[in-house]
């Protein structure tokens, strides 16, 4: 059992929060706010030059990090330095696109800074074999309008399956959808593997709604960056505390 599987086995209604790693607009100290706010999994963004699935806020953050020279080695060093200061370390998931450089994957695994990967796009050759060998969980993203090929990918997940809660890209939006049937389908394709929902979750009420649609957890991203930009670490911590507190109250 990998660390991500162990987490879902031990706790209900997991909170996954996106971290704009390497974005020069924010400092490394933001990591403490995520933990203090109750995030169970840190989704560490590995920058991409073309974050095509992300809206303006998350995409802009990724591009700034990319232009600043952020890469996997930088992220690994920052996390390695930070982990000894954390009483209860969260699960560390690296979110990336297929243009990410994973040359040093084995080195990062040995440093204990990567527990799972969520890659958008087609991975490089032997990528799945390499992460399996290092006990790194494979999480997959399945689009709203999924295909037979997406169903095959969902069945391969050893971490979690992420689905959107509505059509479109990441970001805060008044548009809502009902992902109940999508979540149920993913559960049927890979029984026992958690299914989490993201896109447009920005407060306790929207998080509760997605859990009640059958999800095992929620992903918050754009709202984290927005909170940091507007109210700093305290704003982020308060945001996550409100959502994590709400999730603890939901009984499915």
- The topology under which CATH files domain 3-249 is TIM Barrel (3.20.20)
Residues 6 or more apart whose CB falls under 8 angstroms from that of 34 comprise 17, 19, 42, 90, 224, 236, 240
Q: What is the pLDDT of residue 252?
A: 58
State the Cα–Cα distance between residues 124 and 199, nearest whole angstrom.
26
SS3 of residue 204 by DSSP: helix
Helix axes 148-156, 180-189, angle to 10 degrees: 60
> How much is the pLDDT for 166?
80
What pLDDT was estimated at residue 174? 57
Who's near 229: CB < 8 A, 6+ residues apart? Answer: 25
Phi, psi at 81, each rounded to 5°? -70, -35
Does residue 45 contact residue 61 with C-beta atoms inside 8 Å? yes
Name residues of the chain where pLDDT drops below 50: 171-172
Q: What's the confidence (pLDDT) of residue 56? A: 86
Q: 83: part of which helix (H) or strand (E)? A: none
The rounded distance, in Å, linking the Cα atoms of 60 and 237 is 22
Q: Alpha-carbon distance 197 to 15, whole Å?
A: 10
Q: Measured between alpha carbons, how far is 203 from 218 in angstroms, rounded to an integer?
A: 11
* Predicted local confidence at residue 172, as pLDDT: 47
Q: Which two tokens stand for residue 215?
A: 């999800």
DSSP codes of every residue in 84-132: GG-SSPPEEEEEEETT---TTHHHHHHHT--SEEEEESPPPTTHHHHHH
């Amino acid at each position: 059992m990998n660390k991500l599987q162990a987490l879902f086995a031990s706790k209900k209604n997991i909170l996954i929060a996106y971290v704009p790693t390497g974005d020069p607009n924010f400092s490394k100290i933001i990591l403490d706010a995520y933990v203090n706010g109750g995030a169970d999994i840190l989704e560490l963004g590995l920058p991409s030059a073309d974050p095509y699935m992300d809206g303006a806020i998350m995409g802009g953050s990724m591009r700034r990090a990319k232009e600043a020279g952020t890469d996997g080695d930088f992220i690994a060093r920052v996390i390695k330095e930070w982990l000894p200061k954390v009483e209860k370390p969260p699960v560390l998931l690296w979110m990336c696109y297929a243009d990410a450089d994973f040359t040093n994957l084995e080195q990062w695994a040995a440093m204990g800074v990567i527990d799972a990967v969520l890659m958008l796009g087609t991975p490089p050759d032997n990528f799945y074999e390499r992460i399996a060998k290092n006990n790194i969980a494979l999480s997959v993203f399945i689009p709203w309008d999924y295909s037979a090929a997406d169903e095959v990918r969902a069945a391969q997940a050893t971490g979690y399956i992420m689905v959107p809660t509505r059509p479109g890209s990441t970001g805060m939006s008044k548009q809502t959808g009902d992902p109940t049937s999508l979540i149920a389908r993913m559960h049927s394709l890979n029984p026992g593997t958690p299914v989490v929902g993201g896109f447009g979750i920005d407060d306790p009420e929207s998080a509760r709604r997605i859990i009640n649609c059958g999800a095992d957890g929620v992903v918050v991203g754009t709202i984290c960056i927005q909170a940091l930009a507007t109210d700093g670490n305290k704003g982020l911590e308060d945001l996550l505390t409100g959502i994590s507190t709400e999730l603890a109250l939901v009984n499915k």
